[in-house]
């Protein structure tokens, strides 16, 4: 059997859309599953759409997601160069071959003449197409005498090379997802293969490169399906049909409401990223947000994208890259578009955060801590007064609180009271919980902390069992008041775990401050 070789072939016209990332991912899963090669080829034949920085962005984004390549523009390989502009001298001979064999022709029509033609058709509510029905009324090597064609070429008149579709032929593309898709050549226009600037177009370069790079499967977005009949015909014209790659056209990624394709603009408009990384538009300075900077984990993005258009045949949702490689199959790719679901994306991130080590989450938290003036140093014990903590403490807090967050950016809101003592107390909670006699109860809490061993069970016994239950006191009010004193509000994790985490001295200091600040309520 032929070796599986797939390629991801983006055009560097801007940041990579999340749909493009999914295409890269499916190619990668397929390559890995079949022990094949994954190639990164940059398709930059349209120099007018070239955007500086886009190629580096694509490489960085795929690297962040763990989509790795065996060959490509950034790592080389035996089939290079992998950037089409660096392959420029190679394409001309293929255009010449098609001209020689009658599969292509020279066309001299100036852009103004083509525009005029389009307008003429529009005026009659028709659409102009350069095809078998119109080509003889245009200026090309099919309509002009041979000596005139030669004269124009010799005079250096600009021309393009167009593909010559046979007049009435059904062309079938066998698609691994959609089955046979047949189109009649009358519906297809004689696409430009080679431009007057000496560059091939996407169509010619793509087919030549897939052939020379021995690509076995072309897995790409559905938007390329209308071009596939031309591609099939090009393989035929070149005599390469035997080794033509197999095609799989992936369903579109749709807006969350299912109405239309997920566009570049949708992301920031609807409040979720459509790019893997932040993109700074070099021309406008505009920033489009990316998954990485929003705090998504690469494994969550990979898992979510894998399921946008594919399923493992059951309802399993959480899958690592290795599992996806095992389970992936082209047969389970759906034909219909996949709706983007931002809630699901958050859910995946939450789930993957739970799988992260406390150390990894703590690392992600460090910039926020720094922003809030918290210093993380290699100290034995924490110093609340000077906001100096050790990394082990940050890890512990992260481990305790991660189940409450979907993004690392939520960590400070959820954990600030571990690092900074409250200076204000939620007035509503004070009114509800801090009842007459509370300063005495809080003084008792301090006494217990000062006398019993500083251990969870011992404090539990002395405070909750002996003091509160033993004296038939109001458990909710006392424990919530203690929480108010330590946190400033009545939210947070298990109270005694919190006390054990911040330590005896800090707890006592906070309770003392609450007694002094709130004082004894008036009856």
User: Degrees (nearest 5) of the Cα angle 7, 225, 344?
Assistant: 75
- Piece of 7-15, 308-316, 343-351, 459-467 that binds ligand GLU (CB under 6 A): 7-15
DSSP string over 392-429? HHHHHHHHHHGGG-SSGGGHHHHHHHHHS--SS--HHH
- Per-residue contact string for residues 185-204; x = within reach of ligand GLU by CB under 6 A: -----------------x--
- Piece of 6-14, 130-138, 165-173, 396-404 that binds ligand GLU (CB under 6 A): 6-14
- Smallest separation, CB 31 to ligand GLU (Å): 14
C-alpha torsion sign, points 273, 277, 281, 286 = positive
**Rounded to the nearest 5°, which phi and psi values hold at 20?**
-65, -35
- Smallest separation, CB 404 to ligand GLU (Å): 40
- Smallest separation, CB 142 to ligand GLU (Å): 28
- Smallest separation, CB 207 to ligand GLU (Å): 9
State which residue, 22 or 220, has the beta carbon closest to ligand GLU. 220
State which residue, 217 or 441, has the beta carbon closest to ligand GLU. 217
State which residue, 103 or 202, has the beta carbon closest to ligand GLU. 202
State which residue, 74 or 460, has the beta carbon closest to ligand GLU. 74
- Smallest separation, CB 85 to ligand GLU (Å): 13
State which residue, 9 or 479, has the beta carbon closest to ligand GLU. 9
- Piece of 8-16, 134-142, 290-298, 361-369 that binds ligand GLU (CB under 6 A): 8-16
As a whole number of angstroms, the distance between CA 323 and CA 317 comes to 11
- In the chain, how long is the greatest CA-to-CA distance? 113
Q: Do residues 184 and 170 touch, judged by C-beta distance below 8 A? A: yes
Residue 10 touches ligand GLU, criterion: CB under 6 A: yes
**Rounded to the nearest 5°, which phi and psi values hold at 76?**
75, -165
Among 206, 288, 439, 490, binds ligand GLU (CB under 6 A): 206
**Is 126 an annotated catalytic residue?**
no
Q: Which residues, numbered 233-272, are part of the site for ligand GLU (CB under 6 A)?
A: none
Task: Name residues whose C-beta falls within 8 Å of residue 466's C-beta, 6 or more positions apart in sequence.
Answer: none
CA distances from 463 to 224, 467, 516, 518 (A): 70, 5, 21, 22
Hey, which residues does 194 pair with through a beta bridge?
161, 200
Could you report how far apart the first and last alpha carbons of the chain are, in Å?
Answer: 88
As a whole number of angstroms, the distance between CA 383 and CA 519 comes to 26
Residue 21 touches ligand GLU, criterion: CB under 6 A: no
- Piece of 29-37, 135-143, 218-226, 297-305 that binds ligand GLU (CB under 6 A): 218-226
User: Degrees (nearest 5) of the Cα angle 448, 451, 504?
Assistant: 70
Q: Do residues 27 and 310 touch, judged by C-beta distance below 8 A? A: no
Number of other CB atoms surrounding residue 159 within 10 Å: 20
- Smallest separation, CB 47 to ligand GLU (Å): 14
- Piece of 3-11, 88-96, 98-106, 280-288 that binds ligand GLU (CB under 6 A): 3-11
- Per-residue contact string for residues 427-466; x = within reach of ligand GLU by CB under 6 A: ----------------------------------------
Hey, which residues does 279 pair with through a beta bridge?
288
- Smallest separation, CB 293 to ligand GLU (Å): 24
Q: Do residues 103 and 94 touch, judged by C-beta distance below 8 A? A: no
- Piece of 93-101, 217-225, 491-499, 512-520 that binds ligand GLU (CB under 6 A): 217-225
**Rounded to the nearest 5°, which phi and psi values hold at 271?**
85, 25
For 275, the 3-state DSSP assignment is strand
The number of residues that bind ligand GLU (CB under 6 A) is 9
State which residue, 138 or 230, has the beta carbon closest to ligand GLU. 230
State which residue, 11 or 349, has the beta carbon closest to ligand GLU. 11
Residue 9 touches ligand GLU, criterion: CB under 6 A: yes
- Piece of 216-224, 245-253, 327-335, 447-455 that binds ligand GLU (CB under 6 A): 216-224
State which residue, 9 or 438, has the beta carbon closest to ligand GLU. 9
Among 4, 5, 6, 11, binds ligand GLU (CB under 6 A): 11
Nearest to 129 by CA among 114, 143, 140: 114
- The catalytically annotated residue of 264, 344, 396, 432 is 264
Helix H, strand E, coil C: the string for 146-207 is HHHHHHHHHCCCCCEEEECCCCCCEEEEEECCCEEEEEEHHHCCCCEEECCCCCECHHHHHH
- Smallest separation, CB 82 to ligand GLU (Å): 13
State which residue, 87 or 135, has the beta carbon closest to ligand GLU. 87
**Rounded to the nearest 5°, which phi and psi values hold at 184?**
-90, 140
Q: Which residues, numbered 42-61, are part of the site for ligand GLU (CB under 6 A)?
A: 43
- Smallest separation, CB 193 to ligand GLU (Å): 15
Q: Which residues bind ligand GLU (CB under 6 A)?
A: 9-11, 43, 202, 206, 218, 220, 224
Q: Could you give the residue numbers annotated as active site?
A: 264
């Amino acid at each position: 059997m032929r070796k599986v070789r797939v390629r991801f072939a983006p055009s560097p016209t801007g940041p990579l859309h999340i749909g493009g990332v999914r295409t890269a991912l499916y190619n990668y899963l397929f390559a890995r599953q079949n022990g094949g090669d994954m190639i990164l080829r940059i398709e930059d034949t349209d120099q007018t759409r070239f955007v500086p920085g886009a190629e580096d962005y694509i490489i960085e984004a795929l690297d962040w997601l763990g989509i790795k390549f065996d060959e490509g523009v950034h790592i080389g390989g035996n089939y290079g160069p992998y950037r089409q502009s660096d392959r420029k001298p190679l394409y001309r001979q293929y255009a010449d071959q098609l001209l020689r064999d009658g599969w292509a022709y020279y066309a001299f029509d100036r852009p103004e003449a083509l525009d005029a033609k389009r307008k003429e058709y529009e005026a009659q509510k028709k659409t102009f197409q350069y095809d078998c029905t119109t080509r003889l009324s245009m200026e090309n090597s099919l309509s002009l005498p041979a000596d005139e064609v030669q004269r124009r070429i010799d005079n250096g008149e600009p021309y393009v090379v167009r593909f010559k579709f046979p007049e009435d032929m059904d062309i079938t593309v066998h698609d691994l997802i959609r089955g046979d898709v047949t189109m009649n050549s009358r519906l297809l226009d004689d696409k430009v293969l080679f431009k007057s600037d000496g560059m091939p177009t996407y169509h010619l370069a793509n087919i030549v490169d897939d052939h020379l790079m021995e690509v076995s499967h072309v897995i790409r977005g559905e938007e390329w399906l209308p071009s596939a009949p031309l591609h099939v015909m090009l393989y035929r014209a070149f005599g390469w049909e035997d080794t033509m790659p197999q095609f799989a056209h992936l369903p579109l990624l749709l807006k969350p409401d299912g109405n239309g394709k997920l566009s570049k603009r949708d992301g920031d408009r609807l409040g979720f990223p459509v790019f893997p990384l932040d993109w700074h538009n070099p021309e406008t300075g505009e920033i489009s947000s990316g998954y990485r900077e929003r705090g998504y984990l690469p494994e969550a993005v990979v898992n979510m994208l894998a399921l946008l258009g594919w399923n493992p045949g059951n309802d399993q949702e959480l899958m690592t890259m290795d599992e996806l490689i095992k389970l992936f199959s082209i047969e389970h790719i759906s034909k219909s578009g996949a709706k983007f679901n931002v809630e699901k994306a958050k859910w995946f991130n939450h789930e993957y955060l739970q799988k992260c080590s406390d150390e990894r989450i703590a690392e992600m938290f460090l910039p926020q801590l720094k922003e809030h003036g918290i210093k993380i140093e290699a100290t034995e014990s924490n110093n609340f007064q000077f906001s100096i903590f050790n990394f082990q403490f940050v890890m512990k807090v992260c481990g305790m609180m991660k189940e409450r967050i979907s993004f690392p950016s939520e960590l400070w809101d959820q954990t600030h009271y571990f690092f900074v003592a409250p200076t204000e107390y939620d007035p509503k909670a004070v009114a509800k919980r801090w009842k007459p006699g509370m300063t005495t109860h809080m003084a008792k809490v301090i006494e217990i902390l000062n006398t019993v061993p500083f251990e969870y069970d011992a404090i539990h016994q002395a405070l909750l069992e002996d003091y509160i239950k033993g004296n038939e006191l109001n458990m909710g009010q006392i424990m919530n008041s203690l929480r108010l004193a330590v946190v400033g509000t009545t939210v947070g994790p298990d109270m005694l775990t919190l006390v054990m985490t911040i330590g005896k001295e800090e707890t006592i200091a906070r309770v003392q401050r609450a007694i002094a600040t709130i004082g004894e309520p008036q009856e």
